[in-house]
Each structure stands twice: as structure tokens, then as C-alpha cells.
Structure 1
Amino acid sequence: MSHSNVSRREFLKRNSLTGLGALLTPSALTNIPALPPETAPKTDIKPGPFSVAAPPALLGGKPVRTAQWPTWPLWKPEQDEKQLLEVIRSGIWSRGNVVSEFEAKWAAALGVKRSLAVVNGTNAIMAALAQLDIRGGDEVLVPPYTFIGTVAPVLATGAMPIFVDVDPETFQIDPAKIEAKITPRTKAIIPVHILGLPANMPKILAIAKKHNLVVIEDACQAHLAEINHQKVGTFGHAGCFSFQNSKNLAIGEGGAIVSNDDAFMDRCFSYHNYGNPYGMVSGVIGAGTLIQGTKLRLTEYQAAIGLAQLKRLDAETTTRNTNAAYLKARIKNIPGIVPYKLYDDVTRAAFHLFPFRYKKEAFKGLSREVFMKALTAEGVPCSKGYATLNNMPYLNDAFQSKNFQKMYPKAMLNFNSYVERNHCPQNDRLCNEEAVWFTQNMLLGSQADMDEIANAIEKIYTHADKLLSQK
């Protein structure tokens, strides 16, 4: 494995981006050129000499790793650009045959009947909510450990998000806590397959069926993940995906809604095209508007990029899963490091992020912030992930709007009372104290790369007492 000739000062400068979570692309965390897959180190390469006795890089020692991390997204001009250039030269850039081709191939990859490409995952959820008749005055159950793109569409429809605490071992919504949050206003639940790890869909679906709730899966981070060999996003009434730049299927921006319900998908198509009749092509006017809609159409050139990325998604998913399993085995016995847990019926994960919980007590009380700073100094960029979505000011901003004040009793809009009702202590602990992530591009490396991650954590554990003086 080659190593770059980067000074320690420059290395630390490049890798001082911890704690920015999913708002950063993997390439922003690494800022290092990509390794072509055909020349990337193979999984049988052994790591170089390493000693936990060596001083931490944060205290002036040599970093465990100075080599490159694969950047993201990947692009291979010789094989990826043909269709994209054809689209650009055609002059047909709005929705057309290439978008339809991408939709058909994405549906086939998931084993689902229909797929509709839209501008992003957030609007995919918004469209699904609208066409499943979730409206103002309704309540929608959501997990607090997620990206704002899960919750913003709920507020946009005028519905009230109700937060259900998480299972800290899996980072997923805890099914055991769902029924306590159901009221006569509850109309839907949005389970999120966060980090690319599947939620407990069998239990969630059983609860939803019992209470007649709509289920919209947020699979924006879980491309090709499976439960009992069925792809996530295909269990509920609708599944929503994101193709944003950091996602495992990256287009830059984009999203999709999938379902086996033709009538629902016809309505979604109309909704994403101004409410015009299903099948109406871009640019046609005077056909008549059937339903309230908006404009969410994907472009032809985005679809061409998506088709190129889709060709290698399965192989990349396998690589990430293999490396994630190996890394988990390497670090699970380090005191204070508690890797993710998958539910027993998960037959395939789709690691968008590799999560673990950090227990500072085992590291002599070393704070998570200093742990991450030390890990980054060793050449292993990381993030603390999400903040607590269930108590942020954006909620009160919505509650104070005229629309919400017309749709809900005053008592329901009291922000302090809302925060108390939606307190999620397990989520608080994850967000504020324990969660640490590695981005998915790091899992596209070699087994030797995973060893270097583990070695860096072991090194910090060994010298935790010496790092206590750091801020």
C-alpha cells in the first residue's frame, strides 16, 4: 500500500472535520484522491508494523494511517460517460426515456412493481404522505435518530411528528415503544432504516396492521438492504430512497418512491408532474390538472448518472458488508467500544455508515470529542452523527405558524409540553454522548484498511490516560 508524503501538520488540517455528520460527503471528510477499485489493496494484505505502545498522533506520535481513503462518489469516464454524453447532446434533458429506464431498473433491483424518480428523498416522503392522505391534524410516528429529511415532510403536510425512542443497540426505532405513542390522531408511521441497517419491520408492520396505520419506509440510506431476503422499502405502503451525493447510489441529488400499488403510484406520478394525468410527458400543456401537485421531475442526465452507478451498486454493497463484518469483529472486544447490532432476520445490510457506541468510562473518562479528535489524528476520520431532532427550534417554528394554530388545540402546540411528551432518553444518549460513525467510502477499502481503523482505536484505548489533558 502506498503512503502519501503529507506532513503531520497538513494531515491534521485535512482531517479536522469530525462531528459534522451526514451533512458532509465522505470526500469532504477525507479530502484525499480516490483509489481506482482495480488497483485498491486486496483483502489479504496484512497491515504494516504496529504497536499500541507508540505515542498517539495527537500527542506528537506517528499516525497509524497516512494512506488514502477512497473518495465518493466513484466515476469511471471510460464506461460511465457514454449515455450521459448522449443525453447532453440530444437536447432532451427533462424527464424522458432515460428516466423511465432508470425507474424500471431500480424497481427490478428491489423486486418491486413500480418506481418513480423524483428530485430527492425528502420530497419522495412528502409525495408519499400526500398521496396516502396524511394531512393537517394527523400525527405521524417517527424515530428521533434520523436526518431532518424524515421529519420535514411531515411538518410540510401539516401533520404532527411524534417521536418514538430508539433501540440503542441497533440505532433503530424501538417497536416496544411504538404503541404507547399512538393516539386517535395517529395515521402513519415512518420507520427509518437508518445508517443502512434495517429496522424491525415484522414487528412494526404487525403494530401498524393492528392500529390501521399507513407505513412509509424511509430507506434513503439503505439501498439493497434486506430482511428475510426481501428488499427494504418494499414492506410498507410505500418506500422512499435518496440518491444524494453521499448515498450508496449517488446521483448528486435525486430520490425515488417505490410501491406495488398501481393506483397509489399513478397518483404519485401525477403529483410529481403538477397534478397532470398519469403518463403525461414533460412540456405538454392544456391536458388538464387532476389533483393538487407540484414539480418533482428528475432530469435525463441525472438518470444517466444513476444508471452508471447502479451497475456497481451490488458489488459495492457486498464489499461494504464484508468489511463492516470484519471491522466489527476486530473492535467488538475493545473495552468501551460497542458496535451496531443487526436484527436476526436481516439477510443483508447496506452500510451507509458504520456506527458504534463509545463508552468513555472504559477510556478513563476520555470525552467522545477528544476520542474522535485523537482518532482523526491517527488518520481515521469520524463523526459523532446526528443531533436530537425531537427538541429543536424548527418544531416550535412550525407550531407557531398560522396553519398549525388553525389545525391543533393550543395545548398541543405548547413547545415545552411537546418536548416533554416526546422525550427520548436513549436517543439523547446516542446523540450527546455515545454515537460514532465511519462513512461508507471507508468500507470500500481493504481488510488492511479495517485493521488500521481497529489499530487506531486500540492505540487510543492504550493511551487514554495520557489524552485526558487534551481539549
Structure 2
Amino acid sequence: MKSTLETLAIDGGEKTVQTTFPWPIYDENEVQAVAEVIRSGRWANPDCGEAVAAFEQEFAAYCGTKYAVSCVNGSVSLRLALMACGVKPGDEVIVPPYTFIATASTVLEVNCVPVFVDIDPETYNLDPKAIEAAITERTKVIIPVHFAGLACNMDAIMDIAHRHNLKVIEDAAHAHGAEYKGRKLGSIGDAGSFSFQSSKNLTSGEGGIVVTNDENLYRMMASLRNVGRMEGGQWYDHFNPGCNYRITQMQAVLLSQQLKRLEEQTVLRNNNGLYLNELLADIDGITPLSRGDGEIRHCYHLYIFKYDSSAFGPLSRSEFVARLSAEGVPCSTGYPHPLYTQPVFQNRNFMCYAIPESVDYTSVHCPIAERACRDEAVWIFQHAMLGSREDMRAFAEAIRKIQRVVSQS
């Protein structure tokens, strides 16, 4: 008897995953909070910024820091932190090549030189050994990115920073609620930068914030965010070269409501990630990323696994992801190229005066990041990680189904 072949959803078969995963998640509490601000007519900040100050205090307390400075987005939060750390034109800042452009472009915006350092093949986070090798007399800051919500090896990074007298700005845009050895990410370095853009685990559509325990950094970032004004000064007194990077009262109350959901959501994502690791561990050609060293809590802004096409017959990674998406798994191949291959770096379109002519990104080569971008990485999005254990089983079954069909063809 001839066996019945399965049909993939991309070819007209039934989807393996029937659940939809909405984002953002909200209810009448968010609607009412924003409506109350609108009805009050007190929309502005800072002259009517009580809700903004309240959210900053709430978020700092959640992260375990003394201070927080909100701003218009996560890119600006990185720039504020860099400026407050005292970088000078031509200084070098170590960044990973496997991250969103803002991690590096904000370095250019403050007239500094991004130095790209390769990632660890097991975690896709900055490799501490590569950091040490990249330090020069011009290095001033390290920006470790807690990519996908997974903690970098912060013990090693902070040790390097202390030995070389460097500042550490944690790019925690993916890492709301994640932890490293009992400490919230963003609270370990000199400053921690977060994004509230629409895809993020804590969102108000747009927005950002920087947390710190350093009072001097806090005061400078607060001034830069508020057109250079200083506490105790007059409205038209401007002490520093800042701009208006303030968020609104409506964003603040929305974030305060969303923050109430974050802890429960983070625990759920972490537990689902652990379970999905177990489910995928025995599928040939699929390797979940390591969760790093030490005690961590992963917030899975992205669940990432490495794909080996040799276990899936003729399917390239893009063909595999197209089939997995059709089966109902919200997923992507992620970044197509490491940052240093982007035209802004290859063509030196810097629009600033301090990058030495000797800086040449055409010769940069980070093989681990290149392999992740070209062949390896598959991302499952954070809102899907808020599903049930049954959904996680369906994700794994979708992968197995693709493998079975490929092996039968």
C-alpha cells in the first residue's frame, strides 16, 4: 500500500499551529489610563510630568537601580548614555555586529568610532575574549547587547572594563525583565538602555529609558534629555547641549500599566523557552542557542535556534523559514548582514568630523556573525513565546513536519 504523504501549509495543507499571538496585549486598564490623561488636558512634560516621573521611579525600582531617565526612543537612550559617559570625538566604542543598527549608529552620532567585535557562536552575544583583543588606547566604552533577551557574560565584561578603566553601557533593548545572577539586566554596567518600540517586550509604541546607579550620569542624562536644563535652573537656562527628548504623559501611563504585566510575561517566556529547548533538542539540524553561563533568566524577546540545511534535504534557510511561517510559527531569518557591511560603514557615510581616515570597515571580518546572518539563525518572535505549552509542542511539530516532508520528497 502506498503511504499517504503529508502536505505542508505552504502547499495548501493544514497549518500545524492554529493559535494566533496578538501583540501588544492590553485591556481597559490601558485605555482608561490614557483616556484620563487626555480628559485632564495635562498632556505635557515636564511642566505636567507627574506620570512620567512616576513611571521612571517604577521602572528604576523594577530594575533595582536608583535612577531612570525616559526619552523618545531606545536609540536616543543609547546616545544620552554615551554623551553622559564623557566620550570625546575619535574615541572608540566596542559593539557587536549582530544587533540593530542603533547600537553602532549612535556611536557615530557622538563622533566616535564603532569597533566591531565578533559574537560567541553559542549565544550570539559579545565574546569577551574578542573584546579584550580589540581594546586600544582610544577605547572608552563597551556596549554589550543582551541579544534576544539573553544575558551577556557580565562578570567577564565588567572585569575587562575595570582592568582597562572603561565604561559599560548595557544595550538592554531586548532584555526587559531578564536577569543575570539575580540582577536585572541594565543594572549591572554604568548605565542600561531600553527601548519601548512596538515590538519590544514592554512597549508604548515608541519610547526609551536609561537606568543607572550613578548620580552624576543620571543628572547629565536628565539634562541632555531636557534641552540641557539642570535641576534648580530657570526655564531658559541651558547648561548642556541637549535637545527635547521627553516622552509624553500618555506614553508614561501606558507604560505603567504595561509594566504591571511584565513580570508574569517574562516568567512565561522563560519557561516556554526552556520547554522549547527540550522539544527541539532531538531534532536533527536544529540547535537552540545556549543560555550562557551562570544563573540567568531569559526574557526571550527572540527565541533563536541554529538551522543546518544538511538535515533538511534541499531547503535553504529562507525556504525553511517560509515553510515554518506558513505552518503558523511567527518567525524570521533575522538580520541579513552584519552591521559593518551596511552601506553607511562600507561607504563611510558618517557625516561627522572625527572618524580617522584610517578607519576602514571594508576589511572587517567577524565570521561567527556572518555565519549567523547568512546561514544559521532562525528567530521566533516574543509574542509567540507567550503561548501555551501546547503551542510550544506545535512549534516543534511544525519543524518535524517540514523535515518529514522533505525526507519523503
**TM-score, structure 1 as length reference:** 0.82
Provide closer, same or farther for how the CA distance between residues 82 and 63 of structure 1 changes in structure 2, counting only shifts above 3 A.
closer
- How many angstroms apart in 2 are the aligned matches of 1:397 and 1:272? 31
- Is the contact between residue 99 and residue 299 of structure 1 (CA under 8 Å) also seen in structure 2? yes
Deviation at 1:251, TM superposition (A): 0.7
Deviation at 1:294, TM superposition (A): 1.0
Aligned equivalent of 1:38: none
Say whether 1:75 aligns with 2:26. yes
Provide closer, same or farther for how the CA distance between residues 336 and 82 of structure 1 changes in structure 2, counting only shifts above 3 A.
same
Say whether 1:138 aligns with 2:91. yes
Matches within 5 A, 1:270-349: 270-278=223-231, 285-286=235-236, 288-349=237-298
Partner of 1:460, secondary structure, is helix
- Is the contact between residue 340 and residue 346 of structure 2 (CA under 8 Å) also seen in structure 1? no
Taking only aligned residues, the RMSD between alpha carbons, in angstroms, comes to 1.7
Deviation at 1:278, TM superposition (A): 2.5
Partner of 2:358, secondary structure, is helix
2:384 aligns with one of 421, 427, 442: 442
Aligned equivalent of 2:153: 200
Say whether 1:419 aligns with 2:362. yes
Aligned sequence identity (%): 43
Matches within 5 A, 1:445-456: 445-456=387-398
Deviation at 1:94, TM superposition (A): 1.9
- Is the contact between residue 317 and residue 350 of structure 1 (CA under 8 Å) also seen in structure 2? yes
1:109 aligns with one of 40, 48, 62: 62
Deviation at 1:206, TM superposition (A): 0.7
- Is the contact between residue 113 and residue 355 of structure 2 (CA under 8 Å) also seen in structure 1? no
Partner of 1:234, secondary structure, is coil
Gaps of 5+ in 1: 1-50
Deviation at 1:465, TM superposition (A): 4.2
Letter in 1 for 2:104: V
Deviation at 1:399, TM superposition (A): 5.0
Letter in 1 for 2:10: L
String of CA shifts for 1:262-307, please: whole Å, max 9, x gaps: 1110111111011011266xxx733x11111111101000001001
Letter in 1 for 2:211: V
Provide closer, same or farther for how the CA distance between residues 279 and 254 of structure 1 changes in structure 2, counting only shifts above 3 A.
farther
More deviation in 342-351 or 141-150? 342-351
Say whether 1:94 aligns with 2:44. yes
- How many angstroms apart in 2 are the aligned matches of 1:365 and 1:144? 29
Letter in 1 for 2:16: V
- How many angstroms apart in 2 are the aligned matches of 1:268 and 1:235? 18
Letter in 2 for 1:75: Y
Letter in 2 for 1:325: L
- How many angstroms apart in 2 are the aligned matches of 1:148 and 1:466? 41
Aligned equivalent of 1:382: 331
Partner of 1:355, secondary structure, is strand
Instruction: Give the 4+ runs in structure 1 shifted more than 6 A.
Output: none
- How many angstroms apart in 1 are the aligned matches of 2:204 and 2:398? 33
Letter in 1 for 2:253: A
Aligned equivalent of 2:174: 221
Letter in 2 for 1:74: I
- Is the contact between residue 93 and residue 114 of structure 2 (CA under 8 Å) also seen in structure 1? yes
Deviation at 1:347, TM superposition (A): 2.6
Deviation at 1:258, TM superposition (A): 0.5
Say whether 1:160 aligns with 2:107. no
Deviation at 1:419, TM superposition (A): 2.7
Aligned equivalent of 1:174: 127
Letter in 2 for 1:450: M
- How many angstroms apart in 2 are the aligned matches of 1:466 and 1:162? 47
- Is the contact between residue 52 and residue 459 of structure 1 (CA under 8 Å) also seen in structure 2? no
Aligned equivalent of 1:21: none
- How many angstroms apart in 2 are the aligned matches of 1:138 and 1:75? 43
Deviation at 1:68, TM superposition (A): 3.2
Say whether 1:356 aligns with 2:309. no
Aligned equivalent of 1:58: 10
Deviation at 1:358, TM superposition (A): 0.3
String of CA shifts for 1:352-394, please: whole Å, max 9, x gaps: 0110000111112420011111112212231001131122111
Aligned equivalent of 1:431: 373
Deviation at 1:83, TM superposition (A): 2.5
- Is the contact between residue 312 and residue 407 of structure 2 (CA under 8 Å) also seen in structure 1? yes
Aligned equivalent of 1:10: none
Letter in 1 for 2:20: W
- Is the contact between residue 191 and residue 210 of structure 2 (CA under 8 Å) also seen in structure 1? yes
- How many angstroms apart in 1 are the aligned matches of 2:148 and 2:392? 18
Partner of 1:430, secondary structure, is helix
Deviation at 1:408, TM superposition (A): 4.0
Letter in 2 for 1:451: R
Letter in 2 for 1:59: D
Partner of 1:308, secondary structure, is helix
- How many angstroms apart in 1 are the aligned matches of 2:4 and 2:281? 17
- Is the contact between residue 330 and residue 384 of structure 2 (CA under 8 Å) also seen in structure 1? no
String of CA shifts for 1:312-339, please: whole Å, max 9, x gaps: 1100111111111111110111000010
- How many angstroms apart in 2 are the aligned matches of 1:247 and 1:449? 21
Deviation at 1:148, TM superposition (A): 0.9
**TM-score, structure 2 as length reference:** 0.95
- How many angstroms apart in 1 are the aligned matches of 2:350 and 2:276? 47
